[in-house]
Amino acid sequence: MKKRFTIFITCLLLASCSKIILLEGIPGNATVFEQFGGSSERNFYYPINVSDSLEFVWDASTIGSYHNASLSAIDRYLFVPTLVGRIYCLDANTGLEIGVEKETGEVPITPVVYRKRFFYLNNISESEKSEVLYYDFLRSNVINRIELDEAVDNEMVKTDEGILIITNGGKLLKINYIGQIDYEVETKTQTFFDPAADSLNIFWANQNGEIISARISDGKLNYRKKISNGFESGAIIENEKAYLGDNDGIIYCINLISGEVVWKFLTDGKIKSVPSLDNKSVYIGNLNGKLYSIDKIKGTLNWGAGSDGLYNTSSLVFNNILIQVNQKNKVEIISKEDGTLLNQIEFRGRVKMTPVYYNDMIYFGVDKGEIHAYKFAE
């Protein structure tokens, strides 16, 4: 009787324990979706023609919910950050839970994948601090933990030498892959902005309305200029130009080298997301539920389309369509030509995450910890 009881209790305990994230057999040339927007410049454009319908493939449940971040991936594994301090690893093809890593706090931003590790940021609850954790998924444990004295809600930037982080207090840090802080640069201004970087420089903006560029190698500031009343969004970089939107609803095109404003365009509502680009246009939605297509060179309006909801995540851009998350429980498939709504998918909760196109599937993060995977209809 005692033996049976012991076995029963042991099974119960084991069942309630979470599985570790242990990933083996990942090839060296595995496909990677390594950070927010896929690259340090951020990229949401996929130059392919696709169907304007999506078919459901699977859904999975995690505990918690999501910020406007996204998931990252390597090979057939997805890494999903949640607001209850967990990173889930799911099978990209089936949604099966491979493992989960838990901390106390929230993981508000996209994990960065580098070789056999992923790096994620946890804002510690009941504290002003945060920590960057290095998780080795071949050894299935946290191998390094770097405490920061400020919270971070801004997406990390992955470079060849390390990870760039901008804290909520506006401090720029570079942390190398060994786990050392290479440098810290104070700007002493509240920053809620997803930076972008090219091979040499990192670019971001802050709540004072300043745009800032700094050298990745040593953190030295190239320039710091006030052009707006405040930014709480994110930037995308292409060909030495940066594109970003501000709290007054203005979209800017900035010369990345000089920091000069090339053009600006006024929309009708606050912008909180990172713009998307393709060969010709900039696409951006605002909190007034309006989506815009702007000529990338001239800064003039191609079209604007309204909705009943609110846009605070980036569009996925294909050759013929856009996929845009509307916080009012739906995903919209929109014609790139004129902004017409071609199709939409309704969910039970708010669609929160910036969607990711990976593995020929599109992944959405929905309220109450649901991940949904769709593919384009034939």
Partner 1 sequence: MKKNPTILLFISLFLLTTSVQAQLYFFGRNKIQYDEFDWKLLKTEHFNIYYYGEFEEMAEIGAYYAEEAYKELQIKFDHVVVSTIPLIFYNTHIHFQQTNITPGFIPEGVGGFFEFLKGRVVIPYLGNLEQFRHVIRHELVHVFMTSKVLNNLRDHRVRADHLPPLWFVEGLAEYWSYHWDTQAEMMLRDAVTNEYFFSLSDINRIYGSFLMYKEGQIFLQFISETYGEDKILQFMENFWRFRSFNDVVSFTLGESIETVDDKWIFYVKQKYYPLFAEKKPHHIDSKKLTNFGFNFSPRIHKTDSTTSIIFIGNRTGYTSIFNLPFQPNSKKYAEPKLILRGEKEEIFETFHALKNSIDLFDDQVVFVTKMGGSDVLHLYSLLEDELIKTYNWDELISIESPNFSTDGKRVVFSAIDQKGFSDLYVFEFSSQKLQRITNDYYSDITPIFNKENNKIIFSSDRTGGKFRQKYNLFEYDLEKGNLKYLTYIDANSNQPHYSEDYSKLYFSSDYDGAFNIWELEIKDDQPLGMRQHTRFVTSIFDFDFIDDSTIVTSAFEKSSFQFYSLNLNSIPDSQLASVKFDFHKPPEIWRAKNVKQIAEFDRLKYEKEYTLDYAFSQIIADPVYGARGGAIFSISDLLGNDRYIFFLYNTAEVQSEFLKSFNLSISKINFSKRTNYGFGIFNFYGRRYDIRESDNFFYERSFGGFFSLIYPVSTFQRLEANITFANSDKELSESIIPRQSVLVSNSLSWIFDNTLWGPTGPLDGTRFRFLLGYTSDVKYSNENYYSVIADYRQYFRLSLRSAIAARLSLYANHGKNARRYFGGGSWDIRGWPRWSIRGEKLWVSSLELRFPLIDQLVINFPFFGLGFSSIRGAAFFDAGSAWDDEYEKTLGSIGVGLRINFFNVVTFRYDIGKKIEDDFKRLQPRLFYQFFFGWDF
Query: For binding to partner 1 (CB under 8 A), which residues are involved?
Result: 63-66, 83-84, 106, 123, 125-128, 151, 169, 190, 192, 207, 230, 232, 247, 269-270, 272, 287-289, 308-310, 312, 327-329, 349-350, 367-368
User: Between residues 123 and 354, which has the closer beta carbon with respect to partner 1?
Assistant: 123
Q: Which residues pair with 97 in a beta bridge?
A: 90
Q: Provide, rounded to whole angstroms, the least separation between the CB of residue 159 and partner 1.
A: 29
Q: Provide, rounded to whole angstroms, the least separation between the CB of residue 272 and partner 1.
A: 6
Q: Provide, rounded to whole angstroms, the least separation between the CB of residue 334 and partner 1.
A: 18
Q: In the numeric block, which tokens belong to residue 124?
A: 């510690």
User: Between residues 155 and 198, which has the closer beta carbon with respect to partner 1?
Assistant: 155
User: Between residues 158 and 350, which has the closer beta carbon with respect to partner 1?
Assistant: 350
Alpha carbon distance 365, 60 (integer Å): 10
Q: Provide, rounded to whole angstroms, the least separation between the CB of residue 144 and partner 1.
A: 24
Q: Which residues pair with 72 in a beta bridge?
A: 79
Alpha carbon distance 44, 357 (integer Å): 8
User: Between residues 155 and 232, which has the closer beta carbon with respect to partner 1?
Assistant: 232
Among residues 280, 197, 184, the alpha carbon closest in space to that of 234 is found at 197
User: Between residues 113 and 250, which has the closer beta carbon with respect to partner 1?
Assistant: 250
Alpha carbon distance 5, 13 (integer Å): 12
Q: Provide, rounded to whole angstroms, the least separation between the CB of residue 206 and partner 1.
A: 11
Q: Provide, rounded to whole angstroms, the least separation between the CB of residue 238 and partner 1.
A: 27
User: Between residues 10 and 127, which has the closer beta carbon with respect to partner 1?
Assistant: 127
